[in-house]
A and B are shown apart, each in its own frame.
Chain A
């Protein structure tokens, strides 16, 4: 052995926790399974087709983008990030939307929102939410054609026609609760009357309602979220703060003007709030680093969601609120840093009270 030209050695640590990026993604997908299966059951084959289309096109788009950039394709595909993005996007789409909506959205999320910014970990905006916003603005009709839970579910062949054949949906189309209320407001109907016949607390709670593929079932989403917290993939900060950010103004406003503002359950159980709280604002890439930062982030997303729902032009505001706060994440990261050991918040070394030290 040559004493004078030592080989390059590996830096410590020489042990590692049994974790990997792929495993993190996989755990999140496992947490999504209950809500997704519920969506399939509620909305039938078209929902499954839509979900599959989103996943496949995300993988294809990712592979193509990496190929074009001359980067290794396999490791990036295997880490599951593209699949998870597509999955989350699919869950936020109307379940009977045509296939090209899912394909376009996935490709946009993966290529424009993620790879163009530098790939995994570099994107500023949450890919699923950015894609959803893009679709909503570009294709408002397809993105607001909901299916009521009472609609007769098509068989396998008819379902193919719904997703891939462009079969008209007018006969079964229904409005989401948020959308219905917004429309009624424009006609001058107040909340109490608008909700009559459109609102059943039990149905809303279980997710038996018109809405996106995987956003409706609060209990199953909550279950998935708690699983992620238990597995230490996410922390409680952002979800709790987001729910709080919606709940606080909802409680206050409803108490003051009940015929104009929805109550707590109306806000917490409708739209994409539960999915957003546990699976979107907890996206590590586009949210702050510290617990305090995540709490502030979640709180602001919640408040913005309530504001957009209550005063904005669109009935639902989760995706917009998330994107606005994604843009503010670097600022939150800059100001909400942990205190360094032995220093005060400003970074100065702690001072010792000589007498107290005795």
Chain B
């Protein structure tokens, strides 16, 4: 098949051997699971269980609320022991609401009604079931999949692309999943294709995963699913890059891929869809790569949602030597964490314990304008110029240079010979801009409140005045009446007297 070119990108050292060669192993049930209520883009889920309640594996713990949200299910059977704050898998390390579950060790699944022929379900029904199963984009974006399916069906998608471009170094969870569960993935792909009514289904897999390619080709044979080898480079897993390489089409900056008739899902999402439709099992576990130079036995672990980083590291033989940095996700876009109790969520692709040598930490130097970052940027931005503007607190200038188009892939920081934290500058600026925007809205809202109050105060004063006037008038009227009455009385009396 003809592939299309793409600009930018980098070739970081893969460092995947350690975990890629070992089969996926299931994590033994930890003592406690901490299931966060927000594991997706959108509104957090609302708990529907109480503390002390016993739940079955797959039972609904918290329901999605609002248009863009996803429910959360019990990763195993057991007892809910707490609903409250727990450290969140977030760069801030701040706490967020989570449900604590104490497993009973029996792994009793809920009773599920499974259709005899899943392809007889209507597309709407598939989307509904995917939504009810709490499936979100497992490539890391964690956008609720059902929302994406419904949008794509409505706007008429002709091509379904499955993203097997696991381009982050160290991560091999998708690679292993494709090698070991290709059949289930292909079944999931066919279900998604059925749900959105796409004519064509393509799987893009980087050519540094020959075993995964072979397994997927074998499983896809006869199902009209094309498995395509794409060049291994970072960020090949960026959905828009995958679209460009496979179809040669470019998604408008202010639009979605559905507008050009393409829908992209991660291959792990396809697996989750198959589990949900074919077996009636909601998304309660995922494959997590445990790797890094400081991990004794790097491998892929099938972990229940809510298992902590400590559980995973301990299962993989613990640390060898002191890790210099712990990372959730891949080294390019993942974030550092310091609290080992951080739980795995639906979007957790890996936990890494990196050594000092691996992170290549050095002091930043002045920019020499070598424009290596310009050549590396897959979006076509000028990272050096944007960072210079942000450094001088000129956020508007950075926006004019295309800050809002930055995908935060970190390619620029990776190649910068001066070791300038370019993508850190960009994420700071994006946060600062969002905060300013929020502040502006808040300002507007408080101004309206103040105006409403002033108006109310004036009205009350007016009404009070009015009431006082009325009272005075009434009193005057009453007085007049009294006087008249008295006058009448006196005349009467006089009349009587007369």
- Chain A contacts to B: CB under 8 angstroms: 1, 3-4, 6-7, 9-21, 23-24, 75, 79, 81, 119-122, 232-233, 235, 284-285, 289-291, 333, 337-343, 347, 349-352, 357-358
Contacts and interface: CB of A to CB of B under 8 A. Distances in A.
Nearest to A6: B93
A316 to B, nearest CB: 27
Nearest to B354: A14
Interface stretch (B186-194, B207-215, B419-427): B419-427
A349 B337 contact: no
A6 B338 contact: yes
B405 interface: yes
Contacts of B359: 14-16
B95 interface: yes
A352 B338 contact: no
A343 B92 contact: no
A232 B376 CA distance: 12
A6 B360 contact: no
Contact of A285 (B365, B369, B381): B369
Contacts of A119: 366
B255 A352 contact: yes
Give the top 8 A-B pairs by smallest Cβ distance, nearest first. Answer: A6-B93, A342-B253, A11-B424, A349-B254, A13-B410, A338-B380, A16-B360, A14-B331
Contacts of A337: 382, 401
Nearest to A9: B336
Interface in B296-342: 325, 327, 331-341
B374 A338 contact: yes
A43 to B, nearest CB: 31
Contacts of B358: 14-15
Contacts of B252: 342-343, 349-352
B251 A342 contact: yes
A215 B382 CA distance: 34
B260 interface: yes
A16 B419 contact: yes
Contacts of A338: 7, 374, 377, 380-382
Interface in B187-242: 240
A342 B243 CA distance: 12
Contacts of A290: 371, 374, 382
B379 A13 contact: no
A357 B452 CA distance: 50
Contacts of A13: 331-333, 410, 413-414, 423
B498 interface: no
Contact of A3 (B339, B380, B416): B339
A9 B414 contact: no
Nearest to A351: B252
B368 interface: yes
B378 interface: yes
Contacts of B427: 11
A20 B419 contact: yes
Contacts of A122: 366
B240 A342 contact: yes
Given A15-B414, A20-B417, A24-B417, A121 B369 contact: yes
B158 A358 contact: yes
B335 A9 contact: yes
B289 to A, nearest CB: 14
Contacts of A121: 366-369, 418
B380 A339 contact: yes
Contact of B334 (A7, A12, A232): A12
Contacts of A21: 365-366, 368, 417-418
A16 B339 contact: no
B494 interface: no
Nearest to B359: A14
Contacts of A9: 91, 93, 335-338
B interface, size bucket: 35 or more
A225 to B, nearest CB: 16
A19 B477 CA distance: 96
A350 B415 CA distance: 29
Given A12-B423, A16-B359, A340 B366 contact: no
A301 B253 CA distance: 36
A21 to B, nearest CB: 5
Given A19-B415, A20-B362, A352-B260, A284 B368 contact: yes
B420 to A, nearest CB: 10
A285 B371 CA distance: 9
Given A12-B333, A15-B169, A120-B368, A342 B415 contact: no
B13 interface: yes
Contacts of A343: 252-253, 402, 405
Given A14-B352, A284-B369, A6 B334 contact: no
A344 to B, nearest CB: 9
Interface in B444-461: none
27 contacts: A6-B94, A10-B336, A11-B427, A12-B413, A13-B332, A13-B410, A14-B359, A15-B12, A15-B169, A15-B360, A16-B360, A17-B12, A19-B416, A20-B365, A21-B366, A75-B365, A119-B366, A284-B370, A285-B369, A340-B253, A341-B240, A341-B253, A343-B253, A347-B402, A349-B252, A349-B254, A350-B253
Contacts of A17: 10, 12, 414-415
A343 B379 CA distance: 10
Nearest to A119: B366
B394 interface: no
Contacts of A16: 359-362, 413-414, 419
B13 to A, nearest CB: 7
A121 B6 CA distance: 30
A357 B378 CA distance: 23
A285 B367 CA distance: 9
B93 A12 contact: no
Nearest to B11: A17
Nearest to A339: B380
A357 B260 contact: yes
A20 B352 CA distance: 25
Given A6-B339, A16-B359, A24 B370 contact: yes
A341 B10 contact: no
B385 to A, nearest CB: 7
Given A3-B339, A12-B423, 13 more contacts: A3-B87, A9-B91, A12-B335, A13-B333, A21-B418, A291-B375, A338-B377, A340-B253, A340-B405, A341-B378, A342-B250, A343-B402, A350-B250
Contacts of B414: 13, 15-17
A357 B158 CA distance: 9
Contacts of A10: 325, 336
Given A284-B369, A340-B381, A14 B325 contact: yes
Nearest to A354: B259
B384 interface: yes
A134 to B, nearest CB: 23
B67 interface: no
Given A9-B93, A10-B325, A350-B253, A15 B87 contact: no
B426 to A, nearest CB: 10
A339 B8 CA distance: 12
B197 to A, nearest CB: 13
Interface string B254-278: 1100011100000000000000000
